[in-house]
């Protein structure tokens, strides 16, 4: 992606925080006739391991519907791009010191290049679902465990599991780092009282000390 040096961050802990807070990723992979396929999937950060591990000590795990034709490109060794999108907001030129300015848009995103390990056994898929439940609705865990075994087996058979081994990652935080300190402070103060996305962007500006 286009990532000017003043927006590019090498802070892995911050990048992983964004991925945890916004786990729904775009999985982009090649299909036939030189076209790309895109699937939305919630992903979980996990420690890497096994013979298929990538060059980093963390990986991503998830699943998709077996009925989704894109699961056909979730084959061992396939290379994909996972794109995580954080909060975003319109930036008014009213924040700036002079009228000789134009609007822009601020946002955060993490791009992760990965290699696929397809894991279609029921135990792995059950573990992935339980980790997702633990992360997003722990109170549902007992209900899932209490469902009839044949129903659980049917649900697990309807999905395909995978582990994505990280080859490289890139973090872009476009938060007006190229603007004057006073302009950024004015933006942060106003956004702290704004929409949910604006408030989150203001929090990220403070978190990253921008």
Give me the mean pLDDT over the 47-67 stretch: 83
pLDDT at 32 over 70: no
Contact 162, 96 (CB under 8 A): no
List pLDDT tens digits, range 79-99: 999 999 999 999 999 999 998
User: Which of 153, 160, 89 has the alpha carbon at shortest distance from 120?
Assistant: 160
pLDDT of residue 12: 95
Percent of the chain with pLDDT over 90: 85
Residue 43 contacts residue 132 (beta carbons within 8 Å): no
pLDDT above 70 (res 52): no
- Counting residues of the chain whose pLDDT is more than 70, the rounded percentage is 95
pLDDT (mean) for 183-206 = 97
How do residues 8-17 score in pLDDT, each as one tens digit?
Answer: 999 999 999 9
Output the pLDDT for position 158: 97
What's the pLDDT at 36?
80
Query: What is residue 50's predicted lDDT score, i.e. its pLDDT?
Result: 58
- Residue-wise pLDDT for 151-169, tens only, equals 999 999 999 999 999 999 9
Domain boundary assignment for the chain = 8-204
Better pLDDT: 51 or 169: 169
The CATH superfamily label for domain 8-204 reads: Electron Transport, Fmn-binding Protein; Chain A (2.30.110.10)
**b/e map 167-196, b = 16+ CB within 10 Å:** eebebbbbbbbebeeebbebbbeebeeeee
């Amino acid at each position: 992606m286009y990532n000017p040096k003043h927006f590019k961050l090498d802070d892995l802990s911050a990048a992983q925080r964004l991925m945890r807070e916004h786990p729904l990723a775009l999985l982009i992979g090649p299909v036939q006739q030189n076209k790309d396929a895109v699937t939305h999937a919630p992903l979980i950060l996990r420690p890497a391991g096994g013979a298929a591990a990538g060059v980093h000590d963390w990986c991503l795990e998830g699943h998709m519907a077996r009925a989704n034709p894109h699961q056909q490109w979730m084959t061992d060794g396939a290379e994909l791009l996972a794109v995580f999108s954080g909060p975003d907001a319109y930036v008014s030129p009213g924040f700036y010191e002079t009228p000789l300015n134009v609007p822009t848009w601020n946002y955060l995103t993490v791009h992760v290049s990965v290699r696929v390990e397809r894991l279609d056994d029921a135990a792995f898929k059950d573990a992935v679902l339980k980790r997702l439940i633990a992360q997003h609705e722990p109170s549902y865990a007992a209900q899932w465990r209490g469902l009839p075994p044949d129903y659980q087996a049917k649900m697990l058979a309807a999905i395909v599991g995978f582990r994505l081994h990280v080859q490289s990652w890139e973090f872009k935080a476009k938060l007006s780092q190229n603007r004057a300190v006073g302009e950024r402070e004015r933006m942060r103060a106003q956004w702290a009282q704004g929409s949910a996305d604006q408030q989150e962007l203001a929090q990220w500006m403070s978190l990253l000390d921008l």
